[in-house]
Structure 1
């Protein structure tokens, strides 16, 4: 019976208890003290990888607390020095979806040179947009601004006549009539005093200096733009290697769990920012085009300029439409109060459509923020970094909100609580 089992390759009970010898020909003997030293060095390296960032953050915080002005001045100087790197990254980040689209959808059958050709198509579109804005949009916008400046006295006279007409339509003894006339005289006096004041004349004199500084700034901007363009080409062309090396360094410095969390956080942040800017950019283009059509139909003054303002400011969530509507309404009010009223109605309807239907369809639940937190993000970002901060504030707050919610859900699951 045992012979039959042996022939079939089945171990008997006695054979199961016999230890199986292991060949150690290729097994390298590891010195236990050396292994302990290696583990100690690894732990020390991990400790310093967390300690050094904490020390640097404490140094920055102390510097900011005790000398905030000098800290902000140094930070501004540092940003101006590496601005071409920041703008290069911004250009590369903006064009990356186009490059990915061409690689995956248009050039997917190519085996070699796919990324280079996709980058060529992306930069052709990029320069095409710049050329279109420079040749067709910006000159017209500039002409519109000059036209508005020349028409300001005429528009102001129209407003005065309209205001006086309201006063004449009321009874002479009414309180409303007295208030209307008094308010009109007060506004007229304030504006007259301002245009005749030394401050206004000084501002006119400073205009020449401002034009010279603008010319010098434009030259510096052109140099930085060329450098940023070169950096963006290198970043896009070497994207795969840069991402791989960054990932290798992350896993080399941190523990695997920490590195996994950092990689996930980076990917999620990238997803939120790209969806936000692509979605809001598309929605803003649609809003600008619809505004231009409406302004052309009812013959508003400088329709392209108004559409440009409303479209660009629409990128800023919640507050942006209000910021864009104010100058457009004031401009139209100078031209025709009735048309200003219809423009106000149109903007309200358009923003309701954008906020309740179009943006949710395009963005989905990318932000996941209540309107109050959107406003907070815009205000905080705007107070820190102006227009750029207002643009980045909302997606940044969306990223923070996502990870706070993720951490909260995880802790509640560990405690087996449902709230």
Structure 2
């Protein structure tokens, strides 16, 4: 009866999962809308978790220092010393983070405002110079001038038609977008304020929360699967903290390099361009190119020759960051090949936007390890080789020994006689 009951329960579970998958596919839009609404409701908690996760290393370091200081200086022990150290460490962590952010904004915002104001004031003059340069070039070539004037007339006609048919009727919609943007900003500030409060609670009671979560995990999954989940959780923590922290340090160093190099090269709007390059460098692989495009356009309008120098500089900087600075800071933290890095950025960037492009690489690295472990366990159960290099040039697997049999290429001379054979085993390492 236990055997039949087990088979029946399995059939019920498989049927329920099938219906659930069908419902998710059939009602995908409603499901996505519900998930989006749930995320918007829980956004303060999500922000709080993110803030607590980023500030926890500094909080732990400062708390340890304060506990030892209180013990050595005041001979405080027990709960009183722990309580005072926790409060002082919490206040010091948030005050330090706030002072760092305010200091960076106070340093950057005036420079950015100056760069943007200078760019806006010089834009008409620069555009006029570009127009005069084009006119002088076209004057020496009548055919090219005629084609250019034809394209210009078509462009003017298209712009006038677009203003009459699209821009004017959509002004009301544009105003509504502006109001929505203002409300979104107010909502973000509110969520950020609540998120800071949530982060304080999480950091103050994280040991208790971790104990409760571990207790529930082992209660539901048992010892075997609980140990597996705990191992992957530690790997995920190591991957995210190492990759994102290292990438932030790497991007900040790239920003400092730009702040020093661009003024030396006498580039216009150096601070604005440095901020763009530094922020977009957080995105792996695509970041330098994403930041180079608007920076190139800004410099091109002011000085076309310097824009070419800027492209050469960005190319050299990207090679330095990708081959020297980045590996020194990050190392081979993910273990992914360049193809999988590109794939993960495209996939998670398309799903979650800018945040997905940042966290996509470590998240895909975790999924990649899980899949690798599953495949290794399946191969071990079937008594097959585990190393990837063992499958290079395999023709088939011997069913008796479980060992790979490789293809043999037979070479013949011009008369059709066999000369010898080569093991087509390929090469490479796992």
Q: Per the shorter chain, which TM-score range?
A: 0.7 to 0.9
User: Where does residue 81 of structure 1 map in the other structure?
Assistant: 41
The change in CA–CA distance for 1:329 and 1:200 in structure 2 (over 3 A counts) is: farther
Q: Which deviations, in whole Å up to 9, do the C-alpha atoms of 1:255-293 show, x marking residues without a partner?
A: 211000001111100110001111100000011111122
Q: Which deviations, in whole Å up to 9, do the C-alpha atoms of 1:284-304 show, x marking residues without a partner?
A: 001111112222223323221
User: Where does residue 62 of structure 2 map in the other structure?
Assistant: 102
What are the residue-to-residue correspondences of 1:125-274 with 2, within 5 Å?
Answer: 125-142=96-113, 144-167=115-138, 172=141, 178=144, 182=147, 186=151, 189-190=154-155, 193-194=158-159, 197-198=163-164, 199-201=166-168, 208-274=175-241
Is 1:275–1:363's contact at 8 Å kept on the other side of the alignment? yes
Offset at 1:148? 3.3
* Cα RMSD (Å): 3.2
Q: Which deviations, in whole Å up to 9, do the C-alpha atoms of 1:358-394 show, x marking residues without a partner?
A: 1111111211112221121111111111111111211
Offset at 1:149? 4.0
User: Where does residue 428 of structure 2 map in the other structure?
Assistant: none
User: Where does residue 341 of structure 2 map in the other structure?
Assistant: 374
The change in CA–CA distance for 1:160 and 1:305 in structure 2 (over 3 A counts) is: same
The change in CA–CA distance for 1:84 and 1:243 in structure 2 (over 3 A counts) is: same
SS at the partner of 1:367? coil
What is the CA–CA distance in structure 2 between the aligned matches of 1:348 and 1:382, rounded to whole Å?
A: 24
Q: TM-score, normalised by structure 2?
A: 0.76
SS at the partner of 2:282? coil
Alignment size in residue pairs = 367
User: Where does residue 307 of structure 1 map in the other structure?
Assistant: 274
Pick from 24, 28, 41 the counterpart of residue 64 of structure 1: 24
User: Where does residue 394 of structure 2 map in the other structure?
Assistant: none
Larger Rg: 1
What are the residue-to-residue correspondences of 1:295-334 with 2, within 5 Å?
Answer: 295-334=262-301
More strand by share: 2
The question of 1:363 aligning with 2:323 is answered no
What is the CA–CA distance in structure 2 between the aligned matches of 1:103 and 1:55, rounded to whole Å?
A: 52
Offset at 1:101? 2.7
What is the CA–CA distance in structure 1 between the aligned matches of 2:63 and 2:299, rounded to whole Å?
A: 46
User: Where does residue 8 of structure 1 map in the other structure?
Assistant: none
User: Where does residue 21 of structure 1 map in the other structure?
Assistant: none
Is 1:332–1:339's contact at 8 Å kept on the other side of the alignment? yes
Offset at 1:56? 8.6
Unpaired stretches in structure 2, ≥5 consecutive residues: 72-80, 391-430
Q: Which deviations, in whole Å up to 9, do the C-alpha atoms of 1:122-155 show, x marking residues without a partner?
A: 2112211332244332354355445434544333
Is 1:276–1:395's contact at 8 Å kept on the other side of the alignment? yes
After TM superposition, the structure 1 stretch with the greater mean CA deviation from structure 2, 150-159 or 92-101, is: 150-159
Offset at 1:100? 2.4
Offset at 1:163? 3.9
User: Where does residue 7 of structure 1 map in the other structure?
Assistant: none
